[in-house]
Amino acid sequence: MLGYGLAVVRRLALPALASGTVCAAAMTAALVLGDGTPWSRAAPEALAAGAAVALAFAAVLSTSTVVSAARTARRYGITLGSEAVALPSVREVRVPVIEGRTAFQLTDGVRYEVERDPVLRLD
């Protein structure tokens, strides 16, 4: 499960970095423009705040994702590994078009293709 948790953190690293950067930029602008603080003093404070926001963002989202995945895995009796992290991709299944095929036959053909592929899982 540790491998799964680390994979989730890797997946959330870019959004966490983006949110931390936005927070650091906003804080720098507020300190420099609002308080008149020089850049040399405002930048380290803002970077520390941005890093704290990024860490909190990653920690909260990864913890909730890992807990939810662990519950689901426990329900189905499977173990979590880094390969179980959901990827933002879609799998396309193609079946041959046959003239006169009914909707049921088409659905059955798609189900057969999905069941035949070891990567896809049909519940």
pLDDT tens digits, 76-91: 777 777 666 654 445 5
Whether the Cβ atoms of residue 60 and residue 53 lie closer than 8 Å to each other:
no
Asked whether the CA dihedral 72, 74, 78, 80 is positive or negative, the reply is positive
Confidence of residue 65 (pLDDT cuts 50, 70, 90): confident
Least confident of 40-49, 50-59, 65-74: 65-74
